[in-house]
Amino acid sequence: MRNPSWKLWPLMFVVLAACAVAQQKGGEDEAGPYEVVPNWPQAMYSDGWSWGSTAGIWAESPDRVFVYGRGELQAAKEMPGTDGLPKRPPATQGKPRWQNCVMVFDRNGKLVESWRQHDDKFVRPHRVTINPYDPERHIWLIDDGAHQIFKFTNDGSKLVMVLGEKGKSGNDAYHFNRPTDVAFLPNGDFYISDGYVNTRVAKYSKDGKFLFQWGKPGKGPGEFDLVHSIAIDVDKQRVYVSDRSNSRIQIFDLEGKYVEEWNNIRSPFYVAMTKDGHVAVSDGMTQKILKYDPGGKLVHGWGTFGAYPGQLWGVHQMSVDSEGNLYVAEVFNGRPQKFRPKPGADRGQLIGQIVHSLSR
């Protein structure tokens, strides 16, 4: 009879890996269940300029990661300093040169695309995403400074829809005042969070026809102070809205009727659904990446303020690829970062693949 112990080898390797992690000495667990991937993206500046404020990031695949930023800034002479804290003003300040606003990187951090032909369209990039139900994988870009939402073909060769009028703010069906995000329904209809100045959520048909809106200034149910992000759980018929300056996430049905709120989230910069049914949030005040269960219970949180690789300052958007790698765009540090799960990491602490709109 053959020895069946070979069947236990995979389990033994997992146990040994977990023991190795437990027996390590020192360290501060700065990046929680992840470790930062060094030299991602690869160095791409040699002329005294570097990353500007980095607002958006979206991993279409491990080899096609979109980064949406606010131009480029003159490189800091010392960044970070010996204490790991930023030695320059936030990357949201300064005078950027307006180029390379949309870039695409592969798994090794190599630049594979730059949509330089569209740089003149942008004023203050805010978010990049893909409709998870769209077989053509159009790229959506939200620019709060231009007061516009753009829909491009996947390769960037054609602009197929624009909502809003460049440089003209408003609070009606087809004018916005610093919009921030977009989320989708399976039929192609979508919701826009609008935004820094307007305090509303607006719904549109798949072809861009205005349907309805809700929200007004204030602190009560259905009132907002800086509507910064939006996500949808289609199965539960719920819309999650980041009410950033009110330090909460408000939850509505698909018609905008108030359901409940999750309080005591200091400054929710970004909210998204994950494929495993959790809600992922980045907090721009505590610098934490947060994972909540569908009922709003905090499952896990991690994050350390600073400028060293693996530390965070202003995670404005995050994304997770099909291999479990986590990507963040930092508006204040002015950089994208890639994290991979640590060997032996507790899978329950990891952020599942972000889909922004979930239908299980």
CA of 211: how far to CAs of 162, 183, 214, 240, 256, in Å?
A: 16, 15, 11, 19, 12
pLDDT score of 153 more than 80: yes
Q: What pLDDT was estimated at residue 341?
A: 98
Position 62 pLDDT exceeds 50: yes
The span from the CA of 126 to the CA of 173, in Å, is 20
Q: Is the dihedral of CA 83, 268, 69, 147 positive or negative?
A: negative
Choice among 38-42, 79-83, 112-116, 325-329 with the minimum mean pLDDT? 79-83
The model's pLDDT over 224-238, given as tens digits with 9 standing for 90+, comes to 999 999 999 999 999
Whole-number pLDDT of residue 9: 47
DSSP annotation of 195: B
Domain ranges of the chain: 32-358
Which has more pLDDT, 111 or 74? 111
Q: Using CA atoms, how far apart are residues 325 and 223, in angstroms rounded to an integer? A: 35
pLDDT at 23: 61
Classify strands 357-358 and 227-233 as parallel, antiparallel or unpaired.
Answer: parallel
| Residue 45 pLDDT | 87
**What are the φ/ψ torsions at residue 121 (nearest 5 degrees)?**
-80, -20
Helix or strand run (H / E) with residue 124 = none
User: What's the pLDDT band for 78 if we cut at 50, 70, 90?
Assistant: low
The pLDDT, as a whole number, for residue 5 is: 47
Predicted local distance difference test score (pLDDT) of residue 89: 85
Q: Write down the CATH superfamily of domain 32-358.
A: TolB, C-terminal domain (2.120.10.30)
Report the pLDDT value the prediction gives residue 355, as an integer from 0 to 100. 79
Mean pLDDT rounded to a whole number for the chain: 92
CA–CA gap between residue 125 and residue 180 (Å, rounded): 9
- CB count within 10 Å of CB 5 equals 8
User: What is residue 357's predicted lDDT score, i.e. its pLDDT?
Assistant: 63
Residue 117 burial by Cβ neighbours in a 10 Å radius (0-12, 13-18, 19+): exposed
More confident residue, 18 or 92: 92
Question: For 15-60, what is each residue's pLDDT tens digit?
Answer: 444 555 556 688 888 999 999 999 999 998 888 899 999 999 999 9
Please give the average per-residue pLDDT across 235-255, as a whole number. Answer: 97
pLDDT in the model for residue 354 = 86
pLDDT of amino acid 10: 46
Give the pLDDT confidence of 252-275 residue by residue, as tens digits: 999 999 999 999 999 999 999 999
pTM score: 0.91
End-to-end CA distance of the chain: 45
250 has a pLDDT exceeding 60: yes
